[in-house]
Amino acid sequence: MTSNPNSERLLDRIRTRKARIGVIGLGYVGLPLAVEFARRGFDVSGFDVDEAKTKEINAGRSYIPDVSEVELNDVVKNGRLRGTTRMNELGDMDVVDICVPTPLRKTKDPDLSYVVKAVEAVVETLKAGQLIILESTTYPGTTDEVVQPMLESKGLKGDADFFLAFSPERVDPGNQTYTTRNIPKIVGGMGKASTEAAAQLYESIVEKVIRVSSTRVAEMVKLLENTFRAVNIGMVNELALMCHKMDIDVWEVIDAARTKPFGFMPFYPGPGLGGHCIPIDPYYLSWKARQNGFECRFIELAGHVNSAMPDYVVERVADALNTVRKSINGSRIHLLGVAYKRDVNDMRESPALDVIELLKKRGAMVSFTDPYVPELRQGGHAMSSVGLGQAISERPDCAVICTDHTVFNYDPLISSGVLIVDTRNALKDRQAATIFRL
């Protein structure tokens, strides 16, 4: 191993669980990671600018469905995890793991403002021997073009005085099978010492760590994973539109195709893309490609198809209403589920938001039921979730299944005779003249 005393000391503190871990950003990525470090015996401080989050953590209350309140309360009570807004305490950490959002600007360009602010806070207290890891999804080159120069601005040298790595988060909210513990971790450092330090850190909490040759490779891995999904979803969304024109059940087509034991992977159409990664990551990749004189036509075309799906959902609502000689204008439309995916409370980039806006623009009166989202704010107006039983009793003109939460009981809805537009194939094997599929 290296003879660098900073590296040797850091590796020893990691191996002996004496390393103090700081996690900046306590959302869907940061909080599960902080809890896992704490469960494995590390002293962890969770940093966030949102004091409400840090108070909830210190009270042992989880606001993330994937984080068990029992596990959170346990590590808080035994003193292994605490939440704080005091960024000046970052200097007390041996490791700082940055897990902040990386959204898009309205122009579809990367917005690194959260990353920059987090790194600025780290720079203020940076000391020799610290390991800084960026987990936030971003374009290839962010770590060495943006983060490294900022960290080295005070005179310390990367991979010698301090250590820097990129390790992309691979969280799948709501997935009970694959969690922080058993999803393989990709690690790429700015040098060998940084890669080894980050790899040994993660090997203490996850089952498998994959070392790659650089931060840029690690950054590209995450973009490939999510661009792969976005492109394939775009293809199957276009297939859904085609099948509708040809009077073919796209869901039946996919179910039959997936019986092939090789060369095919099923993807499913829906009302659009949502979440913090899949709708955004391809744009990070195409933006960076343009900086290098390359046009990602295939990737951007998939983005156009996916972003048009909410419009198609509204057209299906219009088709359903036309069967009873009604228009969207003046109709009462009720959405089942507004979170971006099943059994989570995450609203980021949810296609349901676009569906609601489009329906309202066409004169509809919109309501929704979502057990995970009690209130929704859009366009300066607040909407509250209503119970599904109450919604059915009020006889909406059409119901739209946007998110197929497992807690939904569709039987009363079907029995009521209300028109239903099913964008998720939630009513598979149900046949009724009132059901309209994507």
pLDDT tens-digit readout, 356-376: 999 999 999 999 999 999 999
Q: What is the DSSP string of 192-203?
A: HHHHHHHHHHHH
Ramachandran class of 305: left when φ > 0, alpha when ψ lies in -120 to 50, beta otherwise: alpha
For the cut 80, the answer to whether the pLDDT of residue 380 exceeds it is no
Structure letter (DSSP) for residue 92: G
For the cut 80, the answer to whether the pLDDT of residue 378 exceeds it is no
Q: What is the pLDDT of residue 393?
A: 95
Every domain of the chain and the residues it spans: 5-213, 214-306, 308-438
Identify how many contiguous H helices and E strands the chain contains and give both numbers.
16, 15
pLDDT tens-digit readout, 391-431: 999 999 999 999 999 999 999 999 999 999 999 999 998 88
HSE-CB at 260 with a 13 A cutoff on CA atoms is: 9
For the cut 90, the answer to whether the pLDDT of residue 274 exceeds it is no
Q: Which fold has domain 214-306?
A: Rossmann fold (3.40.50)
Mean pLDDT of 141-169: 96
Q: Which fold has domain 308-438?
A: Rossmann fold (3.40.50)
So what's the architecture of 5-213 in CATH? 3-Layer(aba) Sandwich (3.40)
Residues noted as catalytic: 277
The sheet with strand 81-84 has its strands ordered as 81-84, 43-47, 20-24, 95-98, 131-134, 163-166, 185-189, 209-211
pLDDT tens-digit readout, 221-256: 999 999 999 999 999 999 999 999 999 999 999 999
Does this model's pTM top 0.85? yes
Q: How confident is the model at residue 348 (pLDDT cuts 50, 70, 90)?
A: confident
